[in-house]
Amino acid sequence: MMQKWVKMSLVVAMGATMTVAGMPATANAASKTKVLSTRKIAATTVHGRQGNIYSGIKLTKVRYNLKHYRYTTWTASKKAVVKKNGKKAYVTYIKSGAKHGWVYSRYLTNGKAPFNKAKKMKNDMLATKRAALSSGSANVQSTVRDQSTYEDLGDALTHSGGFGWWGDDMEDRLQDQAGLLNIYDVYKGRFSKSENENLAAMAQKVESLQPSEDNNPFESSLDNFAEALGDLIADL
C-alpha cells in the first residue's frame, strides 16, 4: 500500500513539474516576434518625440529612445509588418549618422525635426565670443562678453560704436576690424538672400580698408558694418 502511495505521489509531482515547466514555453512562444513582410521605401525624412528604437526587426533590444532625439532628423528607408504578442504592428527602419534601428511607425512624423533654437543660440554665443577673442580686439570682446541672446548681442553691436576709433593706435584699429569680420563669419549666410548680399558687400569693403591719420572713413565704415550686422542678428 505504501509503495502504491509513493508511486502516485511521484506521478502527481512529475505532472505538476511538467505543467510549471511548460508555462514559460507557452509564454515565450506568445511573446516572440514574427516578421510578416518587409519592403524598401523611398528615402523619407522623419522625426519623432517618443518611442523606443530597437536594434533589430524582432524588437528585442532597445538601443535608443526618440525622446532623447526630438531635434534629430532621421531618414526612413524600410518598412515591415510584424506580429508581436499576437498582435500585428507596423515598424520602420530609420537612420541618422551612425545611429539606426527599428521603431513603431506610429511614433514617426514626416518632415524635418523642429529647430532647437535655444541650443543653437547658446552655441552661437560661444562661437561669437571665440571669434572676438581670436581677433585680440579688447573693444569687440567687451561688446560681446556679457551677451547671451541674439537680441542682446545685436543691440550691443548696433549701439556700441567706436570701432576703429581714430584715437586708438594702428594695431587696435586693425584688431577691431578683424573682430567684426570674425563675428560676421559666424553668422554669414543666415539671413534673407538680399540681406546676405548686402552684408557680404559691406564685409568686403571693410576688409579692404586700411586705417590712416584721416580715420573717419575707416571708423564710420566699421560702425556702419557693426550696426547692420547687429540689426540682423537681433532678429534671428
In contact, 229 and 180? CB cutoff 8 Å:
yes
53 and 138 together in one domain = no
Q: What is the pLDDT of residues 68-102, one digit of tens each?
A: 999 999 999 999 999 998 999 999 999 999 999 99
Whether the per-residue pLDDT at 25 is higher than 50: the answer is no
| The pLDDT of residue 10 is above 50 | no
- For residues 121 and 110, membership in a common domain is answered with no
Structural domain count of the chain? 2
Q: Is 177:219 a contact under the CB 8 Å cutoff?
A: no
The more confident residue out of 28 and 92 is 92
Q: Which amino acid is at 22?
A: G
Residues 134, 138, 139: CA angle, nearest 5 degrees: 115
Same domain, 121 and 229: yes
Question: Span 38-43, mean pLDDT?
Answer: 98
Q: Which CATH number is 98's domain given? A: 2.30.30
User: In whole angstroms, what is the distance from residue 149 CA to residue 193 CA?
Assistant: 23
Domain end point (choices 98, 114, 130) = 114
Question: What single letter denotes the amino acid at residue 197?
Answer: E
Specify whether 122 is located in the same domain as 205.
yes
Q: pTM higher than 0.75, yes or no?
A: no
Contact 224, 158 (CB under 8 A): no
User: Do 182 and 105 share a structural domain?
Assistant: no
* pLDDT tens-digit series, residues 207-230: 999 887 765 688 999 999 999 999
Cα angle 7-13-16, degrees, rounded to a multiple of 5? 145
Q: Sign of dihedral through CA atoms 227, 230, 234, 236?
A: positive
For residue 204, being part of any structural domain is answered with yes
Domain identity same for 137 and 227: yes
Same domain, 227 and 130: yes
Domain end: 72, 98, 114, which one? 114
pLDDT on residue 97: 96
State CA 9 to chain mean position distance.
Answer: 67
Q: What is the pLDDT of residues 51-61, one digit of tens each?
A: 999 999 999 99
Neighbours of 162 (CB within 10 A): 15
Are 70 and 49 contacting, i.e. CB atoms less than 8 angstroms apart?
A: yes
**Nearest 5°: phi and psi at 91?**
-130, 160
How confident is the model at residue 3, as a pLDDT?
54
214, 127: one domain: yes
Is the same domain home to 158 and 67? Answer: no
In this prediction, residue 214 carries a pLDDT of 65
The rounded radius of gyration (Å) of the Cα atoms in the chain is 33
Look at the chain and count its residues: 236
User: What are the Cα distances from residue 66, in Å, to 44, 53, 75, 99?
Assistant: 17, 7, 14, 11
- Please report whether residue 91 resides in a domain: yes
Q: Look at residue 80 in the predicted model and tell me its pLDDT.
A: 98
Same domain (yes/no): 77, 180: no
Please tell me what DSSP assigns to residue 53: E
User: Is it the case that residue 163 has pLDDT exceeding 60?
Assistant: yes
pLDDT of residue 166: 72
- DSSP label at 97? T
Boundaries of domain holding 98: 35-114
Same domain, 150 and 214: yes
pLDDT of residue 115: 87
